[in-house]
Amino acid sequence: MEHHRPWLILHLLPDIGRGRFHRLLDHFGTPEAVLGASMAELRAADGIGEMAARSIQDWKSLVEVDAELERIAEGGVELVCLEDETYPVSLRAAPNPPPLLYCRGALSPMDEAAVAVIGTRRMSRYGRTITHDFADSLARAGMTVVSGLALGVDSEAHRAALDAGGRTIAVLGNGLSSVYPAQHRRLAEEIVANGALISEMPMNATPDAGSFPQRNSIIAGLSLGVLVTEAGARSGTTITVGHALEANRSVYAVPGDLNRANSVGTNRMIQEGARLVTCARDILLDLKENLSQLLTGLPDLREPDEEPLPALPSGLTDLEKRVLEALELDPLPIDDLADALAKDEEAKPPAMGELMAALLNLEMRQLVTQEPGKVFRKGR
């Protein structure tokens, strides 16, 4: 930890952001040399300024470094600086990377094959299904899923990756002494066991509006590509996408219903050049084509004509299969569902009792969900 002490001191100084930190390293070479520089030498450094120079000279009165190191140790957190071998290669190559990261869990060389999955906090059922399917498939293909632990798409992406037995990294906009939002504490612990929590913020820092753009730049920098599964017109995902484009990362978006507010952002991104994707395989093949040296050997990559059609669960009756087919596009009230089945010229219309029995069985198997007003939809 002593090796990181000079890095931490500079990181904690109020007038030293990422930009100044990098300029200081470019000028002096090491944090130790910066802290040992005279006032005249600091003033002579390009782009540092009088206030930052005085902060560096007076750091002992401004920074409680020992208290922060104690919090880091108590929290089971490790520091990772730019010159460490464990610092993510892809993030180091991004514009203006954070000189110092707080990490709880473990970073792995496997994380160089990572895709960010992001989107709205107010996720629809469609967004939940799409996010889960993409994150699940990416994790099963050996990709690390990166997101921000927020409500909605972020947490669904982390959960799907974990359930698939894959790795996931959560980048927080607050210090690692706490989890925000608080309801994701249990999820955060699972992520620590199968990936890492990462933050640029000091241990006790609380989230604020200024911290999330920095967090989003880390999400983009850690990833080979950024996938937006569902986003409204004013979604904060546009900030992450901007960082991804600046870092020359691929941007993918899932198209959505034109009548849904949560699809306005993703549809607009596609108009503006994001690649339209309909399954994780689209992303994997694109990465395989553009980054073949890094991604050779990824499992579960199929040629387009080998992609299997989704299989229905086994043990369904003919009527239950017809019900699932009728509910494929939209939820239906039971009367409309009965009418739809009655229009099937190749099968006998079911009696209402038969239909109710089929729906009950499908509900028990979590293949159909009943909503208020006897409206039924496919899926959980």
Return the CATH number at 32: 1.10.150.20
What is the per-residue pLDDT across 87-141, written as a single tens digit (0 to 9) for each? 999 999 999 999 999 999 999 999 999 999 999 998 988 899 999 999 999 999 9
What mean pLDDT value characterizes the chain? 89
Task: Examine the domain organization and report whether 51 and 159 are in the same domain.
Answer: no
Type of residue found at 327: L
Residues 172, 178, 182, 187, CA torsion sign: positive
In a domain, 88, yes or no: no
Place of tokens 């066991």: 193
Q: Examine the pLDDT at 205 and tell me if it is beyond 50.
A: yes
| Overall average pLDDT of the 183-208 stretch | 96
42 close to 23: Cβ distance less than 8 angstroms = no
Higher pLDDT, 295 or 148: 148
pLDDT of residue 1: 65
* Residues paired with residue 311 on neighbouring β-strands, in sequence order: none
Task: Examine the domain organization and report whether 211 and 269 are in the same domain.
Answer: yes
What is the per-residue pLDDT across 282-321, written as a single tens digit (0 to 9) for each? 999 999 876 654 444 444 444 334 444 455 677 889 899 8
In a domain, 100, yes or no: no
In a domain, 72, yes or no: no
What global pTM score does this model have? 0.79
The DSSP bridge pattern shows strands 100-105 and 195-199 to be: antiparallel
Largest alpha-carbon pair distance within the chain? 91
Task: Examine the domain organization and report whether 274 and 335 are in the same domain.
Answer: no
Into how many domains does the chain fold? Answer: 3
| Overall average pLDDT of the 61-81 stretch | 96
What is the per-residue pLDDT across 346-356, written as a single tens digit (0 to 9) for each? 677 888 899 99
